[in-house]
Amino acid sequence: QVQLVESGGGLVQAGGSLRLSCIASGRTQGIDAMAWFRQPPGKSRNLVARIKWHNGRTNYANSVKDRFSITADYANNTIYLHMYNLKPEDTALYFCAAGRVTQKFAEYDDWGQGTQVTVSS
């Protein structure tokens, strides 16, 4: 398994920015893709952004496209989520995940504990 540790969450005012980090350890050689999910209070967990490990292709939820950016530091098994122009609706518990993604399916086997992002209006 891959162990994932997120950091960087906190309190920020609307319009502000924040950077989340996720460090992977363990069986990192098997990582195909890593992603950020979020779960707002009282709502379900949804994909925010994803990056393919080997080619760097990215994918974003429509709600964050053009405001968030996912990047990877492959040498250090770390991904980041750069968040700009944050909105109150971005408030959620953000999770880092690792797994496999193809055109036919997505499977995330390993998850971090989450880091809270709270955006005030």
Q: How confident is the model at residue 7 (pLDDT cuts 50, 70, 90)?
A: very high
Cα end-to-end span (Å), the chain? 39
Q: Among 67, 77, 69, 76, which Cα is nearest to 98's?
A: 77
pLDDT digits (tens, 9 = 90+) for 20-31: 999 999 999 889
Q: What pLDDT is stored for residue 30 in this prediction?
A: 85
Number of H helices, E strands in the chain: 0, 11
Q: What pLDDT is stored for residue 61 in this prediction?
A: 96
Per the prediction, the chain carries an average pLDDT of 96
Q: What pLDDT is stored for residue 96 in this prediction?
A: 98
Q: Rounded to 10 degrees, what is the CA torsion of 85, 89, 91, 97?
A: -90
pLDDT digits (tens, 9 = 90+) for 45-97: 999 999 999 999 999 999 999 999 999 999 999 999 999 999 999 999 999 99
